[in-house]
Amino acid sequence: MALFHFSVTQVRRSAGQSAIASAAYRAGERLYSDRYGEYSDYTHKGGVACAEILLPPQAPKEYQDRQTLWNALEAAERGKDAQLAYSFDIALQNELSLEENVALARQFLLENFISRGMVADFAVHQPDKGDGGIPNPHFHVLCPIRPILESGKWGGKQRREYLLDDHGERIRDEAGNFKFNAAPTTDWGRPETLEAWRAAWADLCNAKFAEKGLPCRIDPRSYLRQGLAILPTVHEGPAVRQMEARGIATDKGEVNRWIRATNALLKDLRQKVKALFGWLREVREELSRPQAPTLADLLSAYYGARSAGAWSNKGKAVNLKQFAETVNYLTGQKLYTVEDLEARAATHDETLAGLKAGMDRRQRRMKELRELLEQATTYSKLKPVHEQMNAIHWKGKREKFRADNEVDLRLFYMARRKLQPHFTPEGRLPLTAWRKELERLQQEYEADYARYKPIRADLMKLLKVKSCVDASRRQRERTQERRRDMER
């Protein structure tokens, strides 16, 4: 199944990251960092199909060497909390071969990144699907945030835009310095640029699908922006998928099963509402003719015909009871005409749309809270490993410890990076507040979900009325045909 995933983050020193380590991991290589005086070795990493560096014309040719490129960037970035590079994670398509996917990725980077003067270090990953899971081909791209000038030197990431008065003169502050705003030197980090890149990638993939005669297509817009009443599932990741494949239930797996069940219910309700609207249009056309029967007339004819064909008084009594219950239901709901039914169906549709919007908002926040709580658990669990490493002063022993605990340390750094904006000045996380908010949202979500039951029950009753009326109309048509035949 064709899918769209296109995300971008930043490689930052403030998050304990380095450009060398990031490039080594994505390319599956062993690279030496001049800044830190250590190697990042990922030669044991599997699933790296290919890795390549694409350079704009003004870039020095020696930057084709991955270690040279990223050490040069690390040297140009002097700040201890510097933002080093953009990191893109883009899904490839299972419908295409590896060669087609690589060619598509290269074409996309050349047309959208290199043409802007950007450097792109990209690596295609095609990990083994394992345990019968779905293959997950994708490619990573590292792009320095700092541009390369026409001279081949690293340029600035920001420039000063001085504030001017009505006479075009620079304005000074109280200290006598000229006032200015810091503006980026490129448009690479603008949301509009990211949206254009996402759309360009979707267009390339869809054009390839069309070229191969495949019916599948991808859309860079969210379900909400596409106008689809679908709840998005949470990202599971390879570890969760492997556990689920082995029959081990996980929290994320349970959430996704719940979401899929809700989506199935929403789809069922939408189909029934759509079918009901179609039937209402047909009945309205029928009833718009002169002396068209009312719903009560049609139901009376239907149950009257059933009673006439009944074999026993008991059957006739059942038909009479059902007719009475149906008429009482329609009367109680004040549904006398097709227009009344249509208005009721429209009300249901509007109610469903409102519930869906609220469920979407809560689902997005619950997803965010679950991820934060999960990262907090990882951070607390692995923090002693990080502290133990920092307590080792002998370089060789420290490097050995780092290598032995590489996975735990990488998970710790990732958790710390994601939690960084949420730490209080005292270094604490609002875990209790998160859990209470998650519990409240869960209860509100379940309350909204429970409101679907009476709506669906009402739809079933309306559909039952439709079935009876349709049968009555067919019966009337047969009677009219027999009369025409006799008149001939």
Residue 192 reports pLDDT greater than 60: yes
Distances from the Cα of 28 to the Cα of 17, 44, 53, angstroms: 17, 7, 14
Indicate the burial class of 359 (C-beta count within 10 angstroms; 0-12, 13-18, 19 or more).
Answer: buried
Where does residue 459 rank: exposed (0-12), middle (13-18), buried (19+ CB within 10 A)?
buried
Question: What is the secondary structure of 265-292 as a DSSP string?
Answer: HHHHHHHHHHHHHHHHHHHHHHHTSTT-
Tell me which H or E stretch contains 193: helix 191-211
User: How confident is the model over 60-82, as a mean pLDDT?
Assistant: 94
- Whole-number pLDDT of residue 202: 92
How large is the average pLDDT for residues 389-416? 92
Question: What mean pLDDT, rounded, does the chain reach?
Answer: 84
pLDDT at residue 375 greater than cutoff 50:
yes
Helix, strand, coil abundance in the chain, percent, nearest 5: 60, 10, 30
CA–CA separation, 250 and 256 (whole Å): 10
Closest among 59, 92, 70 to 208, alpha carbons compared? 92
Position 157 scores a pLDDT of 86
* pLDDT at 108 exceeding the cut of 80: yes
pLDDT value for 241: 64
